[in-house]
């Protein structure tokens, strides 16, 4: 039976002649029979969308797949939790 998985893909971004140390994380929905085939499908998808392109000033930008960071099965029901994130901030002042 096919089931849905959320996969977290990590891509490295490089810029010709400039050290960027940039990364992009994407959450993608993958339908698969099991976790291993979901990982394989996610890797294939990530490899297909990896690319190099030229920016507006003529530099080559590299966008390369690095890894599947995480995978989790999900339930696709109305109101299902897909993503949650807690951010801590430092107070800027006290009254």
pLDDT tens-digit map of 9-62: 999 988 888 877 889 999 999 999 999 999 999 999 999 999 899 989 888 989
Residue matched to tokens 């599947």? 68
How far is residue 77's CA from residue 74's CA, in Å, rounded to a whole number? 9
User: What's residue 77's pLDDT?
Assistant: 87
User: What's residue 87's pLDDT?
Assistant: 75
User: What's residue 7's pLDDT?
Assistant: 95
In whole angstroms, what separates CA 35 from the centre of its chain?
17
How far is residue 68's CA from residue 34's CA, in Å, rounded to a whole number? 15
First to last CA, the chain: 57
């Amino acid at each position: 039976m096919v089931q849905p998985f959320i996969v977290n893909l990590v891509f490295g971004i490089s810029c010709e002649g400039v050290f960027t140390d940039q990364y992009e994380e994407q959450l993608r929905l993958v339908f698969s029979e099991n976790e291993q085939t979901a990982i394989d499908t996610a890797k294939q998808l990530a490899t297909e969308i990896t690319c190099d392109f030229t920016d507006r000033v003529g530099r080559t930008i590299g966008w390369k797949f690095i890894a599947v960071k995480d995978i989790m099965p999900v339930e696709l029901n109305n109101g299902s939790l897909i993503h949650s994130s807690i951010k801590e901030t430092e107070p800027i002042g006290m009254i």
